[in-house]
Amino acid sequence: MPRASPCRRLSLSLALAGVAHATDFYVAPGASLQLAIDAAQNGDRVLAQPCTYVETIDFHGRAIELIGLGGATATRIVAPAPGTSLVRFHSGEGAASVLQGFALLNASSPDGYGGAISCLASAAAPIAAPTIRDCVLRQCSARYGGGAAGAGAGLYAEASGVVLERCSLLGNLADQPLGQGSGCLHGPIRLRHSIAWGNSAPQFGGTPAPSADLGGFQALRVLAGDVHTGQLYLVLGSLSGMAPGIPVGAWTVALAFDAYTSFTLGSPNHAPLSASLGVLGPDGRAETLLSIPPGLVGALAGTTAHHAAVVIDLAGPAVVFATNAEPLALLP
């Protein structure tokens, strides 16, 4: 039997050592995510059981994966008290620092940056570029960037290259006019296959949810990522919920097909949706506006409308991406 060369034996030993070093830390419901993060080393995973974790966390520069095993529908983080971001990346985290499968809810950072997520660089740590995947950032607020920051209500990112993949940013509020057009994001953030709905800021921001009595409007932002720049998008709606979904090629659009779906499919760019069909701009972004005329109390008061977008490659032609469906409750 031929013997492996010394270089090959060394490479194999290093590979096995790397595999042996990686550790999975399981966090039981009610236990501390932060304690598991602090115990982990680069390359490890922290696996959180489905639960609502009441705490704020800091990655402290660790190149680890923090994964919610129940996904964002069952694994949540909420703040124990207002005043700080739920998740902080302030110590030079890169793409190998991953937050995946969490809902980040109802956080408030009135004097800070990023109600849900804050990514800040410093002289000692000149980058802040983690990966955020399969997360929901909902109803968070901050002075700059309600959802995620570099200064954003949802996420604030400064001197960073944060990547958001398959994320939803919903109902976040930035108090100052740095909400990056939606009150949910601020900073150099790369968005892939994500959707923003109902976020607001004093400048370039959204508005409160439309009222079926008084009317109103709401912006739906499609954030498909730069790989889809120049491709066609179409926003569809349903007044009947999300199940069982509409199969379209390899994708399933999470809408229950009804008369409203048929209308949005057959009559794009008509009221109540403007710019529901078009071409994705730079970074694969587009914006659709839902406009509700006043006086619809009897017909739509209390109704929840769901909307989702599909991206179409005309070279196929084929649907190459579908967003998740996002709800909008029409107020009385």
Beta pairing class for 141-149 and 173-174: parallel
Same-domain status, 181 and 59? yes
pLDDT at position 2: 52
pLDDT at position 12: 38
pLDDT at position 229: 92
How many Cβ atoms are within 10 Å of 311's Cβ, its own excluded? 24
Q: How far is CA 270 from CA 30, 42, 49, 139, 235, in A?
A: 49, 52, 45, 29, 11
Same-domain status, 197 and 56? yes
C-alpha to C-alpha distance for 233 and 253, rounded to whole angstroms: 13
Helix (H) and strand (E) counts in the chain: 4, 31
Same-domain status, 239 and 120? no
pLDDT at position 150: 41
Contacts of residue 61, defined as CB under 8 A and 6 or more positions apart, other chains included, come to 91, 92, 93, 97, 125
In terms of Cβ atoms closer than 10 Å to its own Cβ (0-12, 13-18, 19+), residue 13 is: exposed
Same-domain status, 261 and 322? yes
Nearest CA among 314, 246, 259, 323 for reference residue 288: 323
Q: Pull the structure tokens for residue 235.
A: 């926003």
C-alpha to C-alpha distance for 246 and 57, rounded to whole angstroms: 38
Same-domain status, 197 and 50? yes
| 1 within some domain | no
Same-domain status, 190 and 299? no
Same-domain status, 104 and 56? yes
Same-domain status, 327 and 281? yes
| 132 within some domain | yes
C-alpha to C-alpha distance for 47 and 33, rounded to whole angstroms: 9
Q: Final residue of a domain: which of 156, 174, 206?
A: 206
Dihedral of the CA atoms 74, 86, 59, 117 (nearest 10)?
Answer: 100
Where in the sequence is the domain holding 75, given as residue range(s)?
21-206
User: How many domains is the chain partitioned into structurally?
Assistant: 2
| 28 within some domain | yes
| 140 within some domain | yes
Q: Across the 332 residues of the chain, what is the mean pLDDT of every consecutive 10-residue run?
A: 45 42 91 97 97 95 97 93 84 94 83 75 79 88 58 54 81 55 53 68 44 60 86 95 93 95 96 93 85 64 86 92 81 58
| 78 within some domain | yes
Same-domain status, 120 and 173? yes
pLDDT at position 50: 97
Is pTM beyond 0.85? Reply is no
pLDDT at position 287: 83
Task: Supply φ then ψ for residue 315, to 5 degrees.
Answer: -65, -25
How many residues does this entry show for the chain? 332
| 216 within some domain | no
C-alpha to C-alpha distance for 310 and 308, rounded to whole angstroms: 7
Same-domain status, 123 and 158? yes
Q: How far is CA 29 from CA 86, 250, 302, in A?
A: 18, 35, 35
| 6 within some domain | no
pLDDT at position 179: 36
| 212 within some domain | no
Q: Per the omega criterion (within 30 degrees of 0), is the bond before 317 cis?
A: yes
Same-domain status, 184 and 257? no
Same-domain status, 116 and 173? yes
